[in-house]
């Protein structure tokens, strides 16, 4: 990919591939959105590359991020995960994932719920550089507050904003980034939170 990428991905090939093919692409699948929210929660206090390098381990340990399975877990499962070197072994984040699975089950269409917050189409910003991208916004504060009211954990305004960016509900690719155009095009195919065409 030619051009000036968003600087946060650096030169690590895994990070660059994530930036070029995933980050900022509008996601409408409820399960994929839920997985990303959980992984963003595990990122709290860490770098995203740490999570990205362990993503397949997370998927295996968390049964493909099946919320129906995870919602039934208890202390034995927490202990199993605390011993699993493939993931970030943080009791609070593991317990939050179980609570989040239960909260997810109470929302009939998680994708529609999220996309309703942005009017059904991606919000497009025009940052010239990293300094123009906020850590959180009134939108992420509002969504975070509502998620927490519904029982979700590890979804503060900063985590929520990172999630919105990563899943393409907000396009924060910098001006001139080659991935920006692909995300804009993909965003044009989203209406009312659903893929068209």
103 alpha-carbon distance from chain centroid: 16
79 alpha-carbon distance from chain centroid: 25
Contact in structure between 114 and 34 (CB atoms under 8 Å): no
The answer to whether 6 is a known ligand-binding residue is yes
Residue 5: what are its φ and ψ, rounded to 5°?
-70, 160
* C-alpha closest to that of 159 among 77, 93, 85, 70: 93
The answer to whether 173 is a known ligand-binding residue is yes
Sign of CA dihedral 67, 73, 79, 84: negative
Contact in structure between 158 and 140 (CB atoms under 8 Å): yes
Please give the structure tokens belonging to residue 99.
């609570």
Residues 6+ apart with CB under 8 A from 36: 27, 163, 166, 167
* C-alpha closest to that of 73 among 101, 31, 108, 93: 101
Sign of CA dihedral 57, 68, 163, 158: negative
Binding annotation = 6, 19, 173, 177
Binding annotation for Zn(2+) = 6, 19, 173, 177
């Amino acid at each position: 990919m030619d051009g000036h990428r968003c600087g946060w991905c650096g030169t690590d090939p895994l990070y660059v591939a994530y930036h070029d093919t995933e980050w900022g692409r509008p996601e409408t699948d409820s399960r994929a959105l839920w997985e990303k929210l959980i992984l963003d929660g595990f990122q709290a206090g860490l770098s995203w590359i740490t999570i990205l390098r362990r993503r397949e381990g997370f998927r295996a340990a968390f049964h493909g991020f099946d919320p129906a399975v995870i919602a039934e877990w208890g202390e034995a499962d927490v202990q199993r995960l605390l011993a699993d070197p493939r993931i970030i072994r943080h009791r609070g984040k593991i317990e939050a994932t179980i609570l989040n699975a239960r909260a997810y089950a109470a929302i009939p269409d998680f994708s529609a719920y999220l996309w309703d917050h942005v009017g059904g189409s991606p919000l497009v910003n025009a940052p010239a550089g990293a300094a123009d991208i906020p850590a959180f916004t009134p939108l992420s504060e509002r969504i975070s507050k509502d998620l927490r009211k519904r029982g979700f954990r590890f979804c503060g305004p900063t985590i929520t904003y990172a999630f919105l960016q990563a899943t393409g509900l907000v396009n924060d690719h910098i001006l001139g980034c080659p991935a920006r155009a692909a995300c804009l095009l993909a965003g044009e195919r989203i209406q009312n939170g659903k893929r068209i065409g």
